[in-house]
Amino acid sequence: MSAFPDVDALLEHRHIEDIDRHFAALIAERAGGAEEHLALATAILSRHTRNGHTCIDLKDIAGKHWPDKHDARGGRIKLPGFEDWLGRLAENSAVARVDGAASQPLVLDEAGRLYLNRMWQREKLAAIRLRELAGRETSGAADLEAALDELFEKDDPRLVLPRQAAHIAASRYLCCISGGPGTGKTYTVAKIIMALIRTGQVEASDIAFAAPTGKAAARLQEATRESLRKMHGGESLPEELAVEVSTIHRWLMKSDAERGLADVLIIDEASMVDIHLMSRVLKALPEAARLILLGDSHQLSSVEPGSVFADICGAARGPHSPLRHCVVNLEHNWRFDAESGIGRLAGTIKAGDAEATIHALEDLDTDSIRFENLSGSAGLDALAERFTEAHYAPMVNQFQSLADAGRLASLEHPFRHFMALCSHRRGPSGSERFNLRVEQNLSRRGLISGKEEFYIGRPIIVTRNDHRGRLANGDTGIVVNSGEAGAKVWFPDLREADGSVRLVTPQRLPPHESFHALTVHRSQGSEYDEVAVIPGPAESPVNTRELLYTAVTRAREKVVIHGEREAIKAATERETSRGTGLKDALL
């Protein structure tokens, strides 16, 4: 008979995976006994950590059936009561209390949260450093208000919050700016740079810019340079204002001396930064440097554990939090107003109003948003066929007829006009199936050969950082004909040191895959003229309010949701809830 019947029951019904069961057994063995209270807590903690949580709160699950009633797979078990469970874990040799020596594999905090030790250490470091930064003020500049008066029109109510953000960034060591797409985050950060330079606090070379992915970094650099050029009033950007943006990982790979040159670190798309990465950033941040975070607290949290940016913004609403003076939420949307199609749809999703979301999608008075019924794998296959005809076949034709790679610099960006976004990677409505069907459709049309891996016109996304090859996870390219040198991959968002287009031979590519559709997670940090959203089944826990909001707000001009009404309603009502202790630690 198994020593852990409840854990085995959870495994049998696939509520946990083999790795969770093995980890639970390992910790129980380390504790010297067959203690099911410990094994059960460890298995659930392991599963939650893989799903993006940094901890489990025993108060939330103790004494209840787990998983909850919404899980249709059966095999639910009754968990121990809170006091009993807490007491047994507190006495176990595998569990450290935060008020003691935290050298055990698990840590139990005063509030009843159970952590993996490494997760607790990183969350603790992040909380300490963020509180330190929030409590520090710069020496300031006597002419700051005058500089802000020059940069922001006093009589424009739309600029009150951007000006407030600039004031915080110039006077404090921590500034967090939250706002949806179109609320002017890049515009605001460009104003902040100008204010810092005009008041003599820094030079452009003292500012380090970073983003989680190569795509987000390229977009941030382009947008910021364009904003600075317009503010400067010249035809081109002066060298002293030419900001350079890298990925966060590239910034972390610099030496301490190189990172020490930065007086300001600005991180864009901060909602994508997990607790592991944020703790590394905060640990590596020079003592004298200030930190500016840009993001959208309503967007998807990071793929890896934590919801750092949302926790920071949530804590700042607390009246006694040290972060309450450090966070600004931008409200005015410069791209589309609240009554426009996309603006109204994003607003109803953000509010969790399922009926209003469906009503907005079915409003025939707007061309910018639309709903099309799609069900099951057959529906996805038909959509892939339709999009092949409308989008992918013409793109392959275009690049197959391009024999001169020298013309690439004058071509339109191949991925900015349209993108299909899937909630899921795998399954009957996933991006993997969609991409396979598109390539089968292209082959059936005679446009590509099934034997040719790097066919001309193949879109490629890098899936792992390659620092030697100067490619980052998320960089996107397309296979082109470079003449005698054969097929190469053009990365339109990247440039060589001399400013020429970036071409990479297929043999030098890091791990990569085709992408005619992306997952919504992969699309973060990107914008497209038109977006097709494929949410998948209503019962999928992947479909959440944050995911749907993120997908819809990737579009500049048009959104079409291809799915079932019940799936859209379920996603709008299903709010992402991540177990972390960071928000409480920042209150």
Give the model's pLDDT for residue 572. 96
**Mean pLDDT, residues 296-314:** 93
Helix (H) or strand (E) holding 170: helix 160-171
- Across the chain, mean pLDDT equals 89
Residue 338 pLDDT class (50, 70, 90 cuts) = low
* H/E stretch holding 420: strand 418-422
**Is residue 101 predicted with pLDDT exceeding 60?**
no
CA–CA dist 72, 529 (Å, integer): 39
How far apart (Å, rounded) are the C-alpha atoms in residues 1 and 4? Answer: 9
Q: In angstroms, rounded to a whole number, what is the distance separating the alpha carbons of residues 513 and 523?
A: 15
Please give the sequence-ordered ranges of beta strands (E in DSSP) within 149-270, or none if there are none: 174-178, 207-211, 245-247, 264-267
| pLDDT reported for residue 430 | 95
- What is the arithmetic mean of pLDDT over 198-214? 87
Confidence band of 122 (pLDDT split at 50, 70, 90): very high
- Which of 69, 71, 62 shows the shortest CA–CA distance to 44? 62
Per-residue pLDDT for 135 more than 90? yes
Between vectors from CA 542 to CA 343 and to CA 381, what angle results, nearest 5°? 85
* Positive/negative CA dihedral, 33, 38, 43, 49: negative
Average pLDDT over residues 124-128: 96
How does strand 476-481 pair with strand 487-495?
Answer: antiparallel
Task: Kindly give the pairing relationship between strand 369-373 and strand 517-519.
Answer: unpaired
Most confident of 33-37, 184-188, 240-244: 184-188
pLDDT at 273 over 90: yes
Q: What is residue 107's three-state secondary structure? A: strand
Q: What angle do CA 441, 445, 448 make, to 5 degrees?
A: 80
Tokens (6 digits) for 350: 């953000």
Instruction: Give the model confidence (pLDDT) of 461-476 as tens digits.
Output: 999 888 788 888 888 9
> pLDDT-based confidence at 405, cuts 50/70/90?
low
Distance CA 339, CA 91 (A): 57
Mean pLDDT computed over 374-385: 94
What is the tens place of the pLDDT at every residue in 422-452?
999 999 999 999 999 999 999 999 999 878 8
User: How high is the pLDDT of residue 1?
Assistant: 43
pTM of the predicted protein model:
0.88
Exposure of 216 by Cβ count < 10 A (0-12 exposed, 13-18 middle, 19+ buried)? buried
- First and final C-alpha spacing in the chain: 47
